A and B are shown apart, each in its own frame.
Chain A
Amino acid sequence: MSKRIEAIDLNVYYGNFLAVEGVNINIEPRSVTAFIGPSGCGKTTFLRTINRMHEVLPGARAEGRLLLDGEDVYATGVDPVTVRTQVGMVFQRPNPFPTMSIRDNILAGHKLNGARMSRSEADGIVEKSLRGANLWNEVKDRLDKPGSGLSGGQQQRLCIARSIAVEPDVILMDEPCSALDPISTLAIEDLINELKNEFTVVIVTHNMQQAARVADKTAFFNIAGTGKPGKLIEYDETSVIFNNPANKQTEDYVSGRFG
């Protein structure tokens, strides 16, 4: 399954501070969308509103509408936990659970929720998710070893495997490669290309080449100055954003003439 994401006039606040203002965006299912923009323009903030992780922080809230296949995530009575089971997230720094083995990390989404499953069923999920994250061959002989014993790149793929194990519709990735070497980065980019066959993938990146390599569409966010809210400036096909952007700010940013 894979779902369409639509934001309509979305404002995101930290307490009284308006961090992101008036986002309107329409993200196709089964596609990869990249968010680019200078530091502090609200890419992470907006990304975290999509699976309602934003409100985990004290005082943080969002206004406006955010639709998953037409259903408003912020409608009254919606349980954020339900939203998060449908929208998975991979963080900037790999964060496998240190107390769990590789296997248990993959099964965390099920086990932590108290789901009971047979051994063979669990093995199936573990293998499928690890294969999906291109990690199976590297770890299949040490599934019972702690996840924190893997290399950084492997840990990040483990985290991706962990989030696809619960079969979400959307996967959000916040700079998933920023702590990784070029080889691991390539492995994850390949993986993102495969993931879009099943999921809607949204990725935040500071690496323009990466955006150009993996994304079908790219959204450029910008900020007018410190203390001002970040805004979605331009959203289009990746090739258009990088070669022929409509907006002057976008052109300056992608050509490196920013600031």
Chain B
Amino acid sequence: MLLELIIRGITIGLVYALMGVGLALLNGVMRIINFAHGEFYMIGGYMAYYASTMLGFQFYFSVPTAMIITFILGAVVEKLLLSPIHTQEMEKPMDYALIMTFGLLLFFRQLAIKVFGPFRHKPADYITSDVYILGVKISGNEVLAGAVSAILVIGLAIFIKKTWRGRGWRATTQSRQGAKINGVDIGKESWIACGVACALAGAAGALVAPIFTLSPTIGGSPLVKSYEVMAIGGLGSIAGSLVAGLMLGITETLGAFYISSAYKDAIGFLMMGFFLLFRPQGLFGQK
């Protein structure tokens, strides 16, 4: 039983990490946070659902479709609504972003109720057969979600470490002015990074859609998780996000089973609160 719980915790933890790194990326490049991050998860889930029901796509098409759509949506949101942060050289970009993205959260959620309907949808299984890991039976969907999440997180880490654009993003995080004089077009990198962050959230939503089913309000919980991952793992540290995601996933699954499922979400919040107050740099963060 314990082993099964831990394996489940790991799979869900990887999805949390995927949500968290997107947020950390956005925070690094744009110095803001996004309250609507969970809404892109929700939209990603619905897009994958419609891609498979209406277009008959298999998961290896429907998940990328969801990512592309959420990328575009994220980029457009940045261009239209968040770009004043850098074009107008705002004094308090964070306050602006907090309010703006909170407005977006409400907007997307309400819109989803109108467009997708308030009822739950259950997408077809991506992988119908079960998988045995260390003798424990795990559904194929969960294994797929965990594996693809891990690949995306590691892929992002490599991208940021190795490519010119990735280096430019890190540079922007560490010294905006330095990045400007070195030729980084912050306006352009901002919408690309915002798009990528949203696409990662969209991927997470698409991957877990068959496990948790879809409804317009599912964005709340992953949003919370992504903040917890960020706070626990430390800002801007991908390794930290990964560890934090796993930690969170495992403690939560164990806590829900052994303590009480009513307090499942409180566990994460308490962990986050603890880290914010007593170790604000997180597990791996500097400063």
- A and B interact physically: no
Interface residues of B (CB under 8 A from A): none
Which A positions have Cβ atoms within 8 angstroms of B? Answer: none
